Chain A
Amino acid sequence: MTEPGKGRITKISGNMVTVSFDSPVMQNEVAYILHSGERLKSEIIRVRGNLAEMQVYEATDGLKIGEEVGFTGELLSVELGPGMLGQIFDGLQNPLPEIAKQCGFFLQRGVYIRALSDTQDWDFTPLVKPGDKVRAGDKIGFVVEKIFKHYCMVPFSLRGTFEIKSIEGAGRFTIREAVAQIIDLNKKVYPVYLSQNWPVKIPVRAYTEKLKPGEPLVTRMRLIDSLFPVARGGTYCIPGPFGAGKTVLQQLISRHAEVDVVIIAACGERAGEVVETLKTFPAIPDPRTNRPLSDRTVIICNTSSMPVAARESSVYTAVTIAEYYRQMGLHVLLLADSTSRWAQAMREMSGRLEEIPGEEAFPAYLESRIASFYERAGMVRLYDGSTGSVTIGGTVSPAGGNFDEPVTQATLKVVGAFHGLSRSLSDARRYPAIDPLISWSKYKSFIDGKQKERGQTILHKGFDVSQMMKVIGEEGTSLSDYVDYLKAEFFDFVYLQQNAFDAVDEATPKERQIYVFDFIYHILESEFIFEDKDTALHFFLHLRQLFKGWNTTPWQNEVFEKTEKEIRALLLERLKKG
């Protein structure tokens, strides 16, 4: 192996530096700029002749022409092992709490700390014995991390079959101590540690096959689960103008989604929102395990004022960690907020590289980058037959709230579900402000297909009637149209809308959704007798009020049953006989 080379800075423009070199360099290789005692991490993004153009993951203030650059011969990688759950990393996987201990209030330039603790030891239990055959991704033992068995796996980077030469017995180990030795066919020995490194921009492929996402991922948001569901291993996007509630929606999903691990990638967004997540999660119990939510969460945080290049890598860091937990047979949800900021980071770099710009100055490779990012989602069958999944949900912040812009369009092409947020709905204080008339999902809902379709039809009908009423007034509308309109409004208010501030209403489990949807379906299907529009209006308002109360009572308790009886009685009064 040749020693990685060195280079010298020849040009500095913003966070891009050009470096001349004389020994071979690799595309996307990591290099460190040496500047009066500081080491600044950077990555090669283009090579021309003997000049390498690099994006610097730090501010470039004070750098000078001629300063030395040391190449590393490695791609940008993350360290994967026990100790990530509950942690808060920056886009390059530096643990932020550790940095705060070392540097205080501010993020000092050039301070990098290993992602995982050297000193913490873990209770290791072996699962294989000497002589066993293994390959990359096979589990050779486990430690207990928070709530999970955190499996120790044969490094994903190894190719071929290996034999276990030796393995430690049960005991306590740090991530720096080898727990096993494996040998390949040529008798070469490789140590296996509790942790391993993996380059972030390359998907982990240590599995038998990728499966079609089918099983729903229950988010406990009625509008999403019932009408526009997300599947485990699937992808979805939430585009919306500012103030429409993207981040609040992501936060609620991160709390209630029925998955094992949640990875939050706060990419180029407000620091305040991350602070809320990281200060409140340790205090909120996960309803499924009763452990703090932070125990199942990893936060990758590269807020808008942190260096732009690291923003670009933060989504890759996040998805790599997600894939790692998937390899253990867990179901992982990755929430990226916001992919537009990631795309903007690409645009800034592309501008500095003076590439020919595409639409709105985004680089021409925008679409393929977005597509390959979402393609890292998926449900996979692992070598041991178990399945694991990565589901990716990305918010998009379209310029001017206009969904025709390049990032939204490129995203829509590759995702399986689209939850379009609308400012007019959020102004009207309808929560969640997902517009059911434009949203869609290619995944199957657990709601009966016929019932779901009926729900969607009535929404469209209601919208048409409401548009018509704006022109011809209420007087000119026929009673039956008017009732359809009321039914649509009723469906929207009592089912699609959810009160985020109510402990019961903020999250609805699957069984309750199926039950209530069925109930509402029968109301939508029913023909009622009304003397006039006024009585119809009052009937539905009354019904709405009862339902709202019903939504806030715990599933199948006494009050729940009582309210249901009241609702049935009210319905009976108005139902057409026979």
Chain B
Amino acid sequence: MQKLFTNIQQIVGDVVTVEAENIGNTELAQVITKRGTSLAQVIRLDGKKVFLQVFAGSRGISTGDKVRFLGHPMRIATGNMLLGRIFNGSGVPLDNGPELTDNLVDIGGLSVNPVKRIIPDKMIRTGIPMIDVFNSLVESQKLPIFSIAGEPYNELLARIATQVEVDIIILGGMGLKHEDYLFFRDSLEEHGALSHSVVFMHTAADPVVECLLVPDISLAVAENFALEGKRVLVLLTDMSNFCDALKEIAITMQQVPSNRGYPGDLYSRLAARYEKAVDFDTAGSITILAVTTMPGDDVTHPIPDNTGYITEGQFYLKNGVIEPFGSLSRLKQLVNSKTREDHRMIMDTMIQLFADYRETLEKQAMGFQMSSWDVKLLKYGKLFEDKMMSLKVNIPLEKALDLGWEILYNCFSPEETGIKKSMIDKYWPHMYENKTYSR
């Protein structure tokens, strides 16, 4: 049986130092205290000194408590048994179900050989026109949702979770309010999505170290499903809490901070997680959507900045809608030529006109006189915002494209849209002749 060590020498932050021998780096241990047993992980070895990061936090640990090393790194059960289950950041069930120990895999894991990846070419439909039409989500893409505290990012994530066309959904919550946790649980259940979902939930009340484990656990489970050929969507919220937890631990460990207190390896840490997004040659895929709240709506803050360099574009959620400017799906070109022939045309035309509308709004605000063209743009912009941009809209891509034509038809003459004639002939909605679009 594993030996117990009792000589805890130092407790700083959530890091406990114990004297022990023959311990492996990043190995797992149990800290046994009066108040219960917590898992801990080796984060540094120095001679006989073993530095342990205690998942449940160091509060209440006494220098006389015992530490048992388990001889293996952090592991998580995988496989179909997990579906429909809810766990905390250490993999302990939160739903009164049984604890699982099947198919244990190491979290973190190895990185994928780039030559075994393939160029992604499958679109993931979400039923949200601002995503499907304008910034299509692509299988194996990693995309953050840049947002600000108070925006409905969790609602958006829950909606995507309930209506997206994938095999399996993994939801990783970090530092969420308890009510957000309940909201996710209930909405997954309500829409019957829970049966093909796995939830790892860390709430703000839980120890901060567990927050660090959530992305790794979620992605390890996802990877296992993907290797079995499943198309997995991983939803993470909120990655800013993850970064702040990293900062907290780094400072406890007396690392030199680089930018606003964040550790210098923030980029590598985030990349190691986001790069798990993959489309395997001859197996399934992992797609990652991760909420990143930007402190002060500042995109140059280290968290969104480092994230932006790693991910393949971003959705920018502001004022309750996905802003067309500032949002970008870098991979959309790989899929939107294969949906319907008018997809790109509608995307480009509507965005261009919407940009013109924004300019007109500025002009209007400055008190300039509105030309007849301006009036048309104002009408168009309003329709676009109500019928397309609103997150309430829930329609498949083809319907959204048809809707796009309808909106254009209601506001402009075919020439004014600049769309080439062959497309106009085919798609301009003649059937609505003599009838205005009702709002």
Q: Which of B111-119, B123-131, B164-172 contacts A (4 or more CB under 8 A)?
A: B111-119
Of B115, B118, B313, which is in contact with the most chain A CB atoms at under 10 Å from its CB? Answer: B115
| Contact of B227 with A105 in the complex, beta carbons under 8 Å | yes
| Contact of A275 with B119 in the complex, beta carbons under 8 Å | yes
- Contacts A243-B308, A243-B313 hold; do A65 and B114 have CB atoms under 8 A apart? no
Assembled-state Cα–Cα distance A401/B156 (Å): 28
Of A64, A271, A276, A362, the residue contacting B24 (CB under 8 A) is A64
Assembled-state Cα–Cα distance A202/B256 (Å): 30
Of B73, B140, B264, B330, the residue contacting A351 (CB under 8 A) is B264
**Is B190 an interface residue, CB under 8 A from the partner?**
no
**Is A239 an interface residue, CB under 8 A from the partner?**
no
Please report which residues of chain B, range 26-57, place their CB below 8 angstroms from some CB of chain A when the two chains form the complex. Answer: 26-27, 44-48
**Is B258 an interface residue, CB under 8 A from the partner?**
yes
| Contact of A347 with B264 in the complex, beta carbons under 8 Å | yes
- In the assembled complex, how far is the CB of residue B370 from the closest CB belonging to chain A, in whole angstroms? 16
Q: Which of B3-11, B79-87, B92-100, B265-273 contacts A (4 or more CB under 8 A)?
A: B265-273
| Contact of A11 with B45 in the complex, beta carbons under 8 Å | yes
**Is B302 an interface residue, CB under 8 A from the partner?**
yes
**Is B328 an interface residue, CB under 8 A from the partner?**
yes
A-B pair number, CB within 8 angstroms: 171
Please report which residues of chain B, range 309-331, place their CB below 8 angstroms from some CB of chain A when the two chains form the complex. Answer: 309-310, 312-313, 325, 328, 330-331
| Contact of A305 with B44 in the complex, beta carbons under 8 Å | no
- Contacts A109-B110, A243-B313, A397-B309 hold; do A305 and B276 have CB atoms under 8 A apart? yes
Assembled-state Cα–Cα distance A347/B264 (Å): 7
Assembled-state Cα–Cα distance A423/B120 (Å): 26
**Is B21 an interface residue, CB under 8 A from the partner?**
yes
- Contacts A399-B305, A400-B305 hold; do A65 and B21 have CB atoms under 8 A apart? yes
Task: Name which residue of chain A comes closest to B310, CB basis.
Answer: A304
Task: Name which residue of chain B comes closest to A105, CB basis.
Answer: B116
Q: For B244, what are the chain A residues with a Cβ–Cβ distance below 8 Å?
A: none
Q: For A96, what are the chain B residues with a Cβ–Cβ distance below 8 Å?
A: 113-115
**Is A360 an interface residue, CB under 8 A from the partner?**
yes
| Contact of B115 with A278 in the complex, beta carbons under 8 Å | yes
Please report which residues of chain B, range 249-307, place their CB below 8 angstroms from some CB of chain A when the two chains form the complex. Answer: 255-259, 263-265, 267-268, 271-272, 275-276, 278, 280-281, 283, 300-302, 305-306
Q: For A304, what are the chain B residues with a Cβ–Cβ distance below 8 Å?
A: 267-268, 271-272, 275, 310
Of A12, A303, A347, the residue contacting B25 (CB under 8 A) is A12
Assembled-state Cα–Cα distance A427/B358 (Å): 14
| Contact of B312 with A400 in the complex, beta carbons under 8 Å | no
Task: Name which residue of chain A comes closest to B254, CB basis.
Answer: A354
| Contact of B300 with A10 in the complex, beta carbons under 8 Å | no
**Is B353 an interface residue, CB under 8 A from the partner?**
no
Q: For B259, what are the chain A residues with a Cβ–Cβ distance below 8 Å?
A: 360-361, 399
- Contacts A105-B280, A308-B268 hold; do A361 and B117 have CB atoms under 8 A apart? no
Of B48, B258, B278, the residue contacting A347 (CB under 8 A) is B258
**Is A104 an interface residue, CB under 8 A from the partner?**
yes
Q: Which of A55-63, A385-393, A477-485, A511-519 contacts B (4 or more CB under 8 A)?
A: A55-63
- In the assembled complex, how far is the CB of residue A251 from the closest CB belonging to chain B, in whole angstroms? 13
- In the assembled complex, how far is the CB of residue B277 from the closest CB belonging to chain A, in whole angstroms? 8
| Contact of B267 with A272 in the complex, beta carbons under 8 Å | no
Q: For A276, what are the chain B residues with a Cβ–Cβ distance below 8 Å?
A: 119
Assembled-state Cα–Cα distance A278/B268 (Å): 23
**Is B152 an interface residue, CB under 8 A from the partner?**
no
Q: For A7, what are the chain B residues with a Cβ–Cβ distance below 8 Å?
A: none
Assembled-state Cα–Cα distance A362/B115 (Å): 32
Shortest beta-carbon contacts, A-B, top 3? A400-B300, A304-B271, A305-B275
**Is B23 an interface residue, CB under 8 A from the partner?**
yes
| Contact of A62 with B45 in the complex, beta carbons under 8 Å | no
Assembled-state Cα–Cα distance A268/B48 (Å): 34
Size class of the contact patch on chain A = 35 or more
| Contact of B116 with A100 in the complex, beta carbons under 8 Å | yes
Of A65, A360, A397, which is in contact with the most chain B CB atoms at under 10 Å from its CB? Answer: A65
| Contact of A348 with B265 in the complex, beta carbons under 8 Å | yes
**Is B369 an interface residue, CB under 8 A from the partner?**
no
Interface string of A237-254 (1 = CB under 8 A from B): 000011100000000000
| Contact of A275 with B117 in the complex, beta carbons under 8 Å | yes
- In the assembled complex, how far is the CB of residue B15 from the closest CB belonging to chain A, in whole angstroms? 13
- Contacts A62-B24, A64-B24, A351-B256 hold; do A305 and B271 have CB atoms under 8 A apart? yes
**Is B372 an interface residue, CB under 8 A from the partner?**
no
**Is B2 an interface residue, CB under 8 A from the partner?**
no
**Is A19 an interface residue, CB under 8 A from the partner?**
no
**Is B438 an interface residue, CB under 8 A from the partner?**
no
**Is A103 an interface residue, CB under 8 A from the partner?**
yes
| 10 A-B contacts (beta carbon < 8 Å) | A64-B23, A64-B24, A64-B25, A105-B112, A105-B113, A278-B115, A305-B275, A344-B267, A347-B258, A400-B300
**Is B429 an interface residue, CB under 8 A from the partner?**
no
Task: Name which residue of chain B comes closest to A357, CB basis.
Answer: B256
Q: For B309, what are the chain A residues with a Cβ–Cβ distance below 8 Å?
A: 242, 397
Task: Name which residue of chain A comes closest to B23, CB basis.
Answer: A64
Q: For B46, what are the chain A residues with a Cβ–Cβ distance below 8 Å?
A: 10-13
Task: Name which residue of chain A comes closest to B71, CB basis.
Answer: A62
Q: For B308, what are the chain A residues with a Cβ–Cβ distance below 8 Å?
A: 241-243
**Is B371 an interface residue, CB under 8 A from the partner?**
no
Q: For A100, what are the chain B residues with a Cβ–Cβ distance below 8 Å?
A: 113, 115-116
Assembled-state Cα–Cα distance A402/B48 (Å): 44
- In the assembled complex, how far is the CB of residue A86 from the closest CB belonging to chain B, in whole angstroms? 13
**Is B108 an interface residue, CB under 8 A from the partner?**
yes
Interface string of B119-159 (1 = CB under 8 A from A): 11000000000000000000010000000000000000000
Assembled-state Cα–Cα distance A351/B263 (Å): 9
Of A12, A107, A348, the residue contacting B268 (CB under 8 A) is A348
- Contacts A64-B25, A304-B268 hold; do A271 and B312 have CB atoms under 8 A apart? no
**Is B422 an interface residue, CB under 8 A from the partner?**
no
**Is B22 an interface residue, CB under 8 A from the partner?**
yes
Task: Name which residue of chain B comes closest to A18, CB basis.
Answer: B46
Q: For A60, what are the chain B residues with a Cβ–Cβ distance below 8 Å?
A: 25-26
| Contact of B24 with A272 in the complex, beta carbons under 8 Å | no
| Contact of B302 with A61 in the complex, beta carbons under 8 Å | no
| Contact of A361 with B47 in the complex, beta carbons under 8 Å | no
Interface string of A256-270 (1 = CB under 8 A from B): 000000000000101
- In the assembled complex, how far is the CB of residue B65 from the closest CB belonging to chain A, in whole angstroms? 22
Q: For B112, what are the chain A residues with a Cβ–Cβ distance below 8 Å?
A: 105-107, 271, 305
Please report which residues of chain B, range 334-352, place their CB below 8 angstroms from some CB of chain A when the two chains form the complex. Answer: none
- In the assembled complex, how far is the CB of residue B306 from the closest CB belonging to chain A, in whole angstroms? 8
Interface string of A1-30 (1 = CB under 8 A from B): 000000000111110000000000000000
**Is A175 an interface residue, CB under 8 A from the partner?**
no
Q: For A150, what are the chain B residues with a Cβ–Cβ distance below 8 Å?
A: none
Of B110, B281, B301, B302, which is in contact with the most chain A CB atoms at under 10 Å from its CB? Answer: B110
| Contact of B117 with A271 in the complex, beta carbons under 8 Å | yes
Assembled-state Cα–Cα distance A145/B267 (Å): 39
Q: For B47, what are the chain A residues with a Cβ–Cβ distance below 8 Å?
A: 10-11, 65
Assembled-state Cα–Cα distance A344/B106 (Å): 27
Of B48, B111, B310, the residue contacting A270 (CB under 8 A) is B310
Of A96, A272, A274, A279, which is in contact with the most chain B CB atoms at under 10 Å from its CB? Answer: A272
Task: Name which residue of chain A comes closest to B22, CB basis.
Answer: A64
**Is A88 an interface residue, CB under 8 A from the partner?**
yes
Assembled-state Cα–Cα distance A527/B259 (Å): 53
Q: For B24, what are the chain A residues with a Cβ–Cβ distance below 8 Å?
A: 61-64
Q: For B73, what are the chain A residues with a Cβ–Cβ distance below 8 Å?
A: 61-62
